[in-house]
Structure 1
Amino acid sequence: MNIAELEQKYNFKYPETYKQLAEDNMLNWGESGPHWFETTFPELKKNPPLLLFAYDIEIWNDQQFVEASIDEMSDEEDYRNIHHEYRFVPFAKNGSGDLYAFQFDLQHNGEVPLTFIPHDDEEAEVVAKNFQDFIFRQLLEAITEIDEDSMFYEDEEEDLKQNLFNQLRTHESYLTPRQIEILNEIYHRDIFEYTYKVPNGSSFEAEGLVTFDEVEKILNIEIGFDQLNKKFNYTESWIS
């Protein structure tokens, strides 16, 4: 099933940015398999597809995954018991099975917000007002902690930076000039160590190009809107 067929079947319209990415083959991470990292990844990182170097996200290129996920979420027997008023169209997942989805019931003035749906919690979170801002947020958050678990990690900082600038080059046409300017400035920084605190009061050490606190400030200024980071129980009505 292609994008047009999926839109017709479920009566929605993908944002133009997403359609352009699909047309540009930017959703394609290559054929998955046990040797993907050794054989496919070295070629992909020269011209990175969508969010290749983001943190723990897998973009779906096959619309059959989207179709299956929509059907599962609307099934009365689905364990998530999602309230009927929500219109989620997933497009990616992370390693834990949490989903990233367009939330069409929140669509306003042509903008379709993006929502994070955890696999083991009834509380979802709105993370961006449109797909462009979602890409920007993912690129920023990926560089708060740079370690051996980071996809773009390299032994030499120069090589790591090359991965980031390659990604910025292939993503520029889907971002605003201001977003490109911010990412470009941060990518030119040296990696530094810093301490951050989590809500329970614990402190942790990290290495990155930007701190969690700075990212939060940037996001509030650059992509802020009234629903940003709003959490809600998806088993209940939004207005309850």
Structure 2
Amino acid sequence: MITLQEIEQTYHFKYPTLYYQLWEDGMLDIRWQEGWWKNIFPELKKNPPLLLFRDQFTALDDAEEIVNLIEDYKSQRGIKAEYLLVPFARECAGDVCFFYNREKPEQPPVIVKDWYDFDSAEILADNLQNFIFYGMLSMVHSIYTKAPICLGDFYENIANLFRTHRPYLTEEQAEVIEKIYSRKLTTYKAIQVKKNNLLTALIHYQDYTALLSDEEFEELMKEYNPILVSEEERHSFLLE
């Protein structure tokens, strides 16, 4: 059985310490199998692993699958030689990965989403801790009727999510999440003016029900999940 240390040695990188903690704590153990939604999900949501309720997000808990994906990136995606993508989750139409720049080994990996149908990736967070914060916040900002977080009791789900994820946040991040998760769902008016930025996909164009507004979500992202590259550098940087 392949270990994380063997993956590091093979591809010459180091996982973030927080990732090792998540792995060892069982926070990546999704136990995906036939009948998962009926037989496994009801048990998992009592003690949610990593971002369990994030729509179409599945943490990777199989080291062999991780290796296969790394090899696919090298052979099929044409990624620049100085870059390394190490996936840790699958998500709708792409993989969520640690992104390493071999020319800047002193820099910790940022978190990117590698889109299957585009020759680019989008930076989601400067580090894994900020990505967890972003994921926990976005789940209660963009809510629809059949969203995983609405399966069963919404407030029980977010309380369980906060309990299992709090150890992986900063104290300040935890305070923000706890405050927002203690609110009641509210219907907000949609922003009418389209904004030209990378959060556009998360901005609503019709009235919506959530725990926070578009404006508050944007402000919290700027404060607690700042991405320290220019808008132009966030896209189209992966391929030759």
Give the TM-score normalised by the residue count of structure 1: 0.87
Number of matched residues? 229
Give unpaired runs (5+ residues) of structure 1: none
The question of 1:170 aligning with 2:167 is answered: no
Q: State the match for 2:46 in structure 1.
A: 46
1:110 to partner: Cα distance: 5.5
Paired residue type of 2:61 = N
Paired residue type of 1:233 = S
Q: State the match for 2:18 in structure 1.
A: 17
The question of 1:105 aligning with 2:101 is answered: yes
Taking the TM superposition and a 5 Å limit, the aligned residue runs for 1:50-199 are 50-75=50-75, 78=76, 80-96=77-93, 98-105=94-101, 111-154=108-151, 159-194=153-188, 195-196=190-191
Question: Could you report, residue by residue, the CA deviation over 1:13-63 in whole angstroms, capped at 9, with x for unpaired residues?
Answer: 110100011001110012321x11111111111111111012321110001
How many percent of aligned residue pairs carry the same amino acid? Answer: 31
- Computed over aligned residues only, the root mean square deviation of the Cα atoms, in angstroms, reads 2.2
State whether residues 115 and 125 of structure 1, in contact with CA within 8 Å, keep that contact through their aligned partners in structure 2.
yes
The question of 1:232 aligning with 2:228 is answered: no
Paired residue type of 1:88 = L
Give the TM-score normalised by the residue count of structure 2: 0.87
- Measured in 1, the distance between the counterparts of 2:28 and 2:125 equals 19
Range moving further from structure 2, 7-16 or 198-207: 198-207
Question: Could you report, residue by residue, the CA deviation over 1:173-199 in whole angstroms, capped at 9, with x for unpaired residues?
Answer: 110011111111111111112214555
- Measured in 1, the distance between the counterparts of 2:234 and 2:10 equals 29
Paired residue type of 2:173 = Q
Q: Evaluate the alpha carbon distance shift between residue 212 and residue 123 of structure 1 in structure 2; reply closer, same or farther with a 3 A threshold.
A: farther
1:122 to partner: Cα distance: 1.6
Secondary structure in 2 matching 1:81: coil
State whether residues 89 and 97 of structure 2, in contact with CA within 8 Å, keep that contact through their aligned partners in structure 1.
yes
Q: Which stretches of structure 1, 4 residues or longer, exceed 3 Å deviation after superposition?
A: 106-110, 196-202, 234-237
